[in-house]
Amino acid sequence: MTTAIQTVGLTRRIPGAIARTLVSNVDLTVEKGEFLAITGPSGSGKSSLLYLLGLLDAPTEGEVSLFGQATSLLTESQKADLRLTEIGFVFQSHYLLPEFSALNNVLMPMKTLNRLSSQEMRDRGISLLTSLGLGTEIDKRPFQLSGGQCQRVAIARALANDPGIVMGDEPTGNLDSVSSEQVFSILRDLANKGRTVCIVTHDLTLAARTDRQVRLVDGKIEKISLFRKKAVALEGKAAGKR
């Protein structure tokens, strides 16, 4: 089992007259292929922690390493490259670009990376959307799609460049129960297939179906609990390695 994300003493403060500490001294290790849920009351800093893990924000102190690579000394541009290739983000709102079709939204990160031919990009985009049950909706604009469909397009976009890590910030927060279940099972499936998935959620029933839950209070880790089956499996593997 290799490490996907590791943090040491991760702290994020907002300076100013009323200085606040969003994330305080978090040490966390996420294994590759693990499905992690970050929970906690609102304002506990769970989203802030996710943004730090996903290199959207820079810590005041401490270090985030992705796949063993320390990131604190990277330039903005290098971080952008890492986000482009290794991290896929899904937010509470789908944040699709309204002027572009579902397919073009999915193609955007690929075109930004510009590693495949345009035909290959198109094929990959269509197969991603089809695998998420949107094969017939590829040319529709976001306003023509339901909330659940948009969120699935957003997941397809997050997967566009085949990242090792998928991050979700309340990815089911705006959805009805059916769509929510669909989206969650897609994420579950991604983790089962070896991708590292981190989500922030306040839905404890969903969180309970992930591999591990980190509960944050006032920016500090209050409790880490393992989903029983996975815990046994992890412990077993760890033991086997020894």
Partner 1 sequence: MHLLMEIAWTHVSTRIRQTVVASLGVAAGIAITIMMASLMTGDQQDFTRTLVDSMPHVTVNAERRTVRLQPAEQFYAAAQATSAISAKKLTEIKNPRDVMESLRSWLPGAVAPSMKTTVIIHSGQKSAGVTLVGIDPRFEQNVSKLASQMQGGQIDDLYKGTNALIVGKALAKKIGLRVGSVENISTGEGMVVPASIVGIYSTGQAELDEAQIFGLIRTAQVLAGQPGVINELRIRLGDSRDAPEIAKRVEAITGYRAVSWQEANADLMSAFAIRDIIMIVIMSAMMFASTLGIYSIISTITQEKRRDIAIMKSFGMKAGLVLSIFLVESAIMGAIGVVLGWALGYLLCAAMTQVTIANPITGAAVPLPLAFEPLHYIVVALIALASCFAAAFVPSQNASRLLPVDIIRGGVA
Residues that bind partner 1 (CB under 8 A): 47-48, 51, 56-57, 76-77, 80-85, 88-89, 91-93, 95, 97-100, 104, 108-109, 111-114, 118, 157-158, 160-161, 169, 174
How many CB atoms sit inside 10 A of residue 122's CB?
17
Residue 35 or 89 having the CB closest to partner 1: 89
Among candidates 43, 62, 45, 66, which has minimal Cα distance to 54?
A: 66
Residue 67 or 95 having the CB closest to partner 1: 95
Residue 81 or 203 having the CB closest to partner 1: 81
Find the shortest distance in angstroms from Cβ 15 to partner 1: 14
- Containing H/E element for 25? strand 20-31
Residue 118 or 185 having the CB closest to partner 1: 118
How many angstroms separate the CA atoms of 22 and 68, rounded? 25
Q: What's the half-sphere exposure (Cβ side, CA atoms, 13 Å) at 7?
A: 25
Q: Tokens 């179906």 map to which residue? A: 209
Find the shortest distance in angstroms from Cβ 34 to partner 1: 22
Residue 35 or 91 having the CB closest to partner 1: 91
Find the shortest distance in angstroms from Cβ 89 to partner 1: 5
Tokens standing for residue 106: 């999915």
Find the shortest distance in angstroms from Cβ 239 to partner 1: 39
**C-alpha dihedral (180, 184, 185, 191), degrees to nearest 10:** 170
Find the shortest distance in angstroms from Cβ 94 to partner 1: 9
How many angstroms separate the CA atoms of 120 and 214, rounded? 39
